[in-house]
Structure 1
Amino acid sequence: MRRMSFLLDLKKSFKRIFASEVIQNSKIRRSVLALGIFLSITLIMTIDFIPNAVKLEVGEVARQDIVAPITTTYVDKKKTQEMKQKAAEEVIKVWRTDPAISRKVQNDIRGFFNIIRKYQELEIPPNEISQISGDVSPLTFEEKVKMIQREVDFEISPEEIELALKQDPETLDNLEKYLKELILSYLDKGIQPSYLENIKTKIAMNIENTNYSTPIKGLLTTIADQVVQPNLVLDVEETRRRQEEAMAKVAPVERTIKQGEIIIRSGNVVTEEDIAILEALGLRRPQINFRTISGLIVIIFILMAVTIYYLYQYHPKLFKDENSLLLLGLLSILILIIAKLFTLFRLSNTGYLVPIAAVSILISILLDSMIAIVFTTVLSFLIVIITGGDASVGAVLLVSGITGVFSVSEVSQRSDLVRAGFFVSGAAALTIFAYSLTQPLNWVEVLKFTSWGIINGILAAIMTNGLLPYLENVFGITSAVKLLELANPNQPLLKKLLMEAPGTYHHSILVGNLVEAAADKVGADSLLARVGAYYHDIGKIKRPYFFSDNQFGGENPHDKLSPGLSTLIIKSHVKDGVEMAKKYKLPKPIIDIIQQHHGTNLISFFYQEALKDEKYENVNEDEFRYEGPKPQTREAALIMLADITEAAVRSKGFNRSNHNRIEGLVRELIRKKLEEGQLDECDLTLKDLDKIATSFTKVLTGIYHYRIEYPENIAREMKGVQVVNGDSHK
């Protein structure tokens, strides 16, 4: 009841708004309604793009879970910098050869051997050469060694110097040449500082593989170890340039945070990475994301414009019905709010749970199945955006919604809505299962998501059954489900009609058969016509015996009344029927049929009686007519024609060659109503009237066909057989 009250209050609010003089124009009212729906949907879609500030610093403890309000992708600066640094480190350094190093190495080798040669020839110390006195003593071998050791630029042992001094000039020349060639062979290839020790080892191995004596090998190894230097110098600028190029080629490391994902759990210490995510989501310094909001507004505008144009182009009658437009808007807003609420559960693929099929089924039942499919498509797209889902969510929503529409194409009772829910569950679960197989999910996750499809259908069935009665009553829409319920003979009003006015009940059933057969021929709503026929004469319940249907050969009360009073009683059954229909809360289309089924017909019998009665000097024909209005719909017109046709044919009591006589009477009655203008305000054509006459004739002929009269003895025998069989009612 509270839900009903809320919906009624909401509808009254819209009516109060639309009742103002400023927006009496229907186009303005529809524009205001569309704007309201547009703003509501926009608010639902963009509310998460206005985040609340999260005041946390590195090292603090989070007091509550921090959840991502939207799905966003950001550049992880720390990871990106690490990748760039790694790329720079992997760049091969650029080295250039320094020719001065090669010259210096050669000079060092040449200088060592020249010093050896000089002291081999020197007999006196160099500083005493200028003295010519005879008391200068010659250099000893040990003195030469010491002097050479002081003059050589690198460290070398006295023993190795002694060994060098003892070599003949030719050997010295060969050793110098060999050592130069050996070291230059490595210098020509280039020696990096980091490889110097490795090169020295290789040079030593080369020397070791020669035929020189061991002491000579040691001498050469020492000299080589002392003079060899790296001749490759790092080209800093070129290396830096190449490193920068490599770093520039590194793609930014992107990370996607999905809506509803927990960023920081309660009790965890906040890290730099957490702060980076908060910054990316705009939660540290909340700013309105005008760019994203603008994009969503444009998307919503485009989808609404397409939908409105579809209604304008293909459903112009509904497009002008503000009541139906309001219903479509409220259902759309409702399902989007539900989708938004599901995002609070912080589950992946929450879109699987949104029962969009409920809206699809409600629109299909209350309005039109094609409109339901269009709205299902549009709403599926919006729900995917709200829930941050992917193509699989959109597919599940679309499949479940369309399945819901198809599953209620032939609904006959409310229990069929439960069956529709099972169909939706199966379709959604199967779609989710198929998509899950294409993803790297384990079987537990596959089964979990598949179960969500089943839950989706159950929620859709519950939501549909719960909302349908309220929407029917609040918006005054008569659904097929409602009509089928009213057609049930156990309805209180029909039972009352059967018990208190049985003749009228039987007549109404026959009229229902007539209009149902004809409605299919002329494009009318056969279900509405049949149910309307059942209730069109309920006003006769108030005074049943004043109508010939219920007199059963007894005294006619009109014999004691004046024609004027009898006319008032006859006419009153329409007004009484409308009041009774409102009391029992029958839908407006049924009430309209009750009010229009006699149009402004003349009650000719009592009118003629009044003309004959001398008490009436001036007989006003309008006083003997029903108050109307004339039938406004095909269904009401069909019931008017079926009402008079059935009564007329029944009153004739045909019992011979009925078909032609019935057809003639039917066509004559329809022609008279056409000439009297009773059909002017409905959209039946002459071709439709011909189809109606043919259909009525076929049904009436089947009811009032010629029956043979059984001989009396056969009748007695048949009666005896029935009694013996224990069935005296057959």
Structure 2
Amino acid sequence: MDKTIDKIMKLINFRYFLIIVLLITGVLQFFLMLGNVQGRTYDVKPLQLAPDTIRSTKTIEDSYKTEQEKKRIVEEVNPVYVYNEAIVTQRTAIVTSLFDYVISVKKEAAASDKEVPMEEQVKQLKKKFNSIDDNEISIALSDEQLTALLSLDEKDLQYATTELNDYVKATLENPIRDNYVEDERNAIESKVRLRMNLNSKALDAVAQIARSSIVETETLDDAQTKKLIEQAKSNVEPTRILQGQIIVQEGQIIDTEMYRQLELLGMTDGKSSMKPVVGILLLILLQMSFMFILFERWDSDMRKKRNALLVTAIVYSISIVLMKILSIIATDFDFVIAFFYPTALATMLVRLLANDRAAVLVTVMTAASAGVIFQEGYSSVLQMEIALYIIFGGFASLFFMRSVEKRTHILTASGIVTVVNLLFILFYLLMTQANYGMKELGVYAIAAAVSGFMSGTLTMGLLPFFESAFGILSTLRLIELSNPNHPLLKKLLVETPGTYHHSVMVANLAEAACEEIGADGLLARVGCYYHDVGKTFRPTFFIENQMAGMNPHDAMPPEKSAEIIIAHTTDGADLLRKHKMPDEIIDIALQHHGSSLLKYFWFKAKEEGKELDESLFRYPGPKPQTTEAAVISVADSVEAAVRSMKEPTPEKIRKLVQSIIADRLNDNQFDECDISIKQLKIIEEVLCETLNGIFHSRIEYPKM
């Protein structure tokens, strides 16, 4: 598969490849999640028999019923009325003024030098009454009634004033609403006619004044009434159709109310809402956008980015499939079967095969998708307990897998995930405030344990497949390869002990330098262990394996010696391929000398007067393609050179390291890898410090 992907990558650049992978992942996720947001629909019509017992698939507010309930509550709200006490004083004052006007007109007529006709008095009185009529009270008295009032003597008028004021005051002191005004006017008129001792004509006039004095004393307070209505509306609980509620029984006639509820739930053909579908599309778009940003900005070599992308996409898709299967069978169980989902599976795999950032993103994405797939209950957008369950389990594995040196460490992390799962489920059960028996508690405890240990077991089971399919060199794989019991390392130790020791020394140097500049120190160490396995084909031709000072090169022409020495890189690569070693290790074996010149044999040939092509004395390469290979190439040469140095001192070591690095730079050996001058200076310092620690001066012990 890895080679097939390499061919595809040669046709398109990484950005287009990234878009294609994310598009495929998003489409797969959409179709897997679509069924979880689309409710079941029925081909039913009003007034027909229900083919099945239809239950609500979700809890939803019945807005029509809610509005009906609000209208009923509003009708029961009592309006707020306000009593106006000032009306009593105002009306009694008007009554007094009216009779004072009558007395005043009578006195003016009596004081006149000549007799004032009654018609003139009536006219004057009407004018005075009209002044009140325009502003305060509407009094419609006939001329006959006004004449009757003017015919009364002052004593009767005072009597009428006092009595009528008492009646008006007694009536108006009680709250009178608009619809009761006429009744009160009739009542006071009856009281006047029955109790006041006046002639019939005067009684008519007084009764009319009495009626006109009675007005509304209690008025509607619109602001307070509206406030009460709004408060009553806000106190109305929404009417809900509950999930699982039976809308219609099988064989029952579907009336208009039942059909309305089915339409509201989107359970009739053609009424299924597209809103959840659009929502899922937006969620997937958001998730894929974050993945795009992560891998687009990932500063790493193309092959590593490509493999990490594919692993992340495939692991995420596997997680969605697994959740979909659980959601399908969930209806057959009375407990939350989603708690059996291996919470840390995706996180562990992506952490081991890609990096921490991708693992964090996949954890959050998986949690969000699980919340949708396992959703249920009132207005459920996400099943939050499952989403949080996965987040806590996934993050627990991240925190406790910071250093994975053995596969058993995965199981240890799984145990910790199990404990976290148990604690979260305990939190969930306590928050539900329901009573659970020992059977239910046991099931949930088993779910937490299965989730935790399946996370580790599936991770260990799937890890080799991903490593093999994509040629991924994980941390666990590197640690396994560093085991001295590996056949190739045992072969190296037994057949070329000097080379083995040299490789271990180079590994120490290279690892320290790589870690200082931010490269992969573990890869450098393991690569160093195997970089010279090609020397096992002709051990004695390499100086570190020569015993008793015998050097076969002394009896050989320099070009033949160069051919044998140069061959150890390609021989080593072939041997590593035969043992199915990772490409990264094979590349280090090929690249650790780059295309550098074998100067010793080149100059030896020139001293012998031979005119040979320089290419015969250069390694075939390629030049170092990665930072790790570049560091190993320097560490390899430095270690060999310092080891052959007599009485090494810090000054001598520094000059030697500087000259080797400068020689590689001048020979353009670092042109094809991403390494800077600043990093080379750091490498120089680390190599000098490490070599000084190895080749420090020793105390000369006295002879005994």
Look up the equivalent residue of 1:29 and give its one-letter code: F
In 2, distance between residues paired with 1:263 and 1:485?
Answer: 60
Q: Does the aligned pair in 2 maintain the 1:487–1:531 contact within 8 Å?
A: yes
Equivalent in 344, 360, 365 of residue 378 of structure 1: 365
C-alpha deviations, 1:414-451, integer Å up to 9, x for none?
Answer: 11111111111112221221232122222434564354
In 2, distance between residues paired with 1:273 and 1:513?
Answer: 81
Residue 618 of structure 2 is matched in structure 1 by 625
Residue 21 of structure 2 is matched in structure 1 by 33
- TM-score normalised by L of structure 1: 0.65
SS at match of 1:591: helix
Residue 202 of structure 2 is matched in structure 1 by none
Equivalent in 326, 335, 343 of residue 319 of structure 2: 335
Q: Does the aligned pair in 2 maintain the 1:365–1:408 contact within 8 Å?
A: no
Look up the equivalent residue of 1:482 and give its one-letter code: R
Q: Judging changes above 3 Å, is the alpha-carbon distance between structure 1 residues 433 and 35 closer, same or farther for their aligned structure 2 residues? A: same
Q: CA deviation at 1:87?
A: 7.3
SS at match of 1:619: coil
C-alpha deviations, 1:366-395, integer Å up to 9, x for none?
Answer: 221122112211221111001115322221
In 1, distance between residues paired with 2:495 and 2:304?
Answer: 42
Residue 254 of structure 1 is matched in structure 2 by 240
Q: Judging changes above 3 Å, is the alpha-carbon distance between structure 1 residues 376 and 506 closer, same or farther for their aligned structure 2 residues? A: same
Query: In terms of mean alpha carbon deviation, does 324-333 or 508-517 score higher?
Result: 324-333
Q: Judging changes above 3 Å, is the alpha-carbon distance between structure 1 residues 16 and 582 closer, same or farther for their aligned structure 2 residues? A: closer
Residue 33 of structure 2 is matched in structure 1 by 45
Q: Does the aligned pair in 1 maintain the 2:534–2:568 contact within 8 Å?
A: yes
Look up the equivalent residue of 1:349 and give its one-letter code: V
* Structure 2 unmatched ranges of 5 or more: 78-231, 376-381
Q: How does 1:396-545 map to 2 (within 5 A)?
A: 396-444=389-437, 445=440, 448-545=443-540
C-alpha deviations, 1:132-180, integer Å up to 9, x for none?
Answer: xxxxxxxxxxxxxxxxxxxxxxxxxxxxxxxxxxxxxxxxxxxxxxxxx
Residue 109 of structure 1 is matched in structure 2 by none
C-alpha deviations, 1:23-63, integer Å up to 9, x for none?
Answer: x344333322221111111111113456777799968799x
Q: CA deviation at 1:71?
A: 5.0
Q: Does the aligned pair in 1 maintain the 2:371–2:383 contact within 8 Å?
A: yes
Look up the equivalent residue of 1:337 and give its one-letter code: V
Q: CA deviation at 1:649?
A: 1.3
Look up the equivalent residue of 1:593 and give its one-letter code: I
Look up the equivalent residue of 1:296 and give its one-letter code: I
Q: How does 1:317-332 map to 2 (within 5 A)?
A: 321-332=305-316
Equivalent in 335, 341, 346 of residue 354 of structure 1: 341
SS at match of 2:24: helix
Q: How does 1:621-700 map to 2 (within 5 A)?
A: 621-654=614-647, 658-700=649-691
Equivalent in 677, 695, 698 of residue 704 of structure 1: 695
Q: How does 1:188-227 map to 2 (within 5 A)?
A: none
Alignment size in residue pairs? 535
SS at match of 2:241: strand
* Structure 1 unmatched ranges of 5 or more: 1-7, 93-245, 715-730
Look up the equivalent residue of 1:519 and give its one-letter code: C
CA RMSD of aligned residues (A): 3.9
Q: CA deviation at 1:483?
A: 0.8
Residue 385 of structure 2 is matched in structure 1 by 392
Residue 353 of structure 2 is matched in structure 1 by 366
In 2, distance between residues paired with 1:709 and 1:630?
Answer: 44
In 2, distance between residues paired with 1:683 and 1:248?
Answer: 67
Q: Does the aligned pair in 2 maintain the 1:360–1:373 contact within 8 Å?
A: yes
Matched, 1:297 2:285: no
In 2, distance between residues paired with 1:680 and 1:250?
Answer: 76
SS at match of 1:545: helix
C-alpha deviations, 1:43-102, integer Å up to 9, x for none?
Answer: 11113456777799968799xxx999x75647599xx69x979979x989xxxxxxxxxx
In 1, distance between residues paired with 2:254 and 2:568?
Answer: 81
In 2, distance between residues paired with 1:317 and 1:627?
Answer: 23
If you compute each CA radius of gyration, which structure gives the higher value, 1 or 2? 1
Q: Does the aligned pair in 1 maintain the 2:503–2:531 contact within 8 Å?
A: yes
Q: How does 1:3-18 map to 2 (within 5 A)?
A: 8=1
- TM-score normalised by L of structure 2: 0.67
Q: Judging changes above 3 Å, is the alpha-carbon distance between structure 1 residues 674 and 262 closer, same or farther for their aligned structure 2 residues? A: farther
In 1, distance between residues paired with 2:424 and 2:302?
Answer: 33
Q: CA deviation at 1:397?
A: 1.2
Q: Judging changes above 3 Å, is the alpha-carbon distance between structure 1 residues 398 and 660 closer, same or farther for their aligned structure 2 residues? A: same
Q: Judging changes above 3 Å, is the alpha-carbon distance between structure 1 residues 61 and 289 closer, same or farther for their aligned structure 2 residues? A: closer
Look up the equivalent residue of 2:19 and give its one-letter code: S
Q: CA deviation at 1:575?
A: 0.5
In 2, distance between residues paired with 1:633 and 1:611?
Answer: 34
Query: In terms of mean alpha carbon deviation, does 350-359 or 657-666 score higher?
Result: 657-666
Equivalent in 290, 298, 304 of residue 306 of structure 1: 290
Q: Does the aligned pair in 2 maintain the 1:53–1:284 contact within 8 Å?
A: yes
Residue 591 of structure 1 is matched in structure 2 by 586
Q: Does the aligned pair in 2 maintain the 1:478–1:589 contact within 8 Å?
A: yes
Look up the equivalent residue of 1:488 and give its one-letter code: N
In 1, distance between residues paired with 2:4 and 2:517?
Answer: 39
In 1, distance between residues paired with 2:429 and 2:526?
Answer: 48
In 2, distance between residues paired with 1:470 and 1:299?
Answer: 30
In 1, distance between residues paired with 2:559 and 2:274?
Answer: 76
In 1, distance between residues paired with 2:521 and 2:641?
Answer: 23
Look up the equivalent residue of 1:28 and give its one-letter code: Y
Q: CA deviation at 1:17?
A: 6.6
In 2, distance between residues paired with 1:60 and 1:311?
Answer: 52
Residue 152 of structure 2 is matched in structure 1 by none
In 1, distance between residues paired with 2:401 and 2:343?
Answer: 15
Look up the equivalent residue of 2:460 and give its one-letter code: N
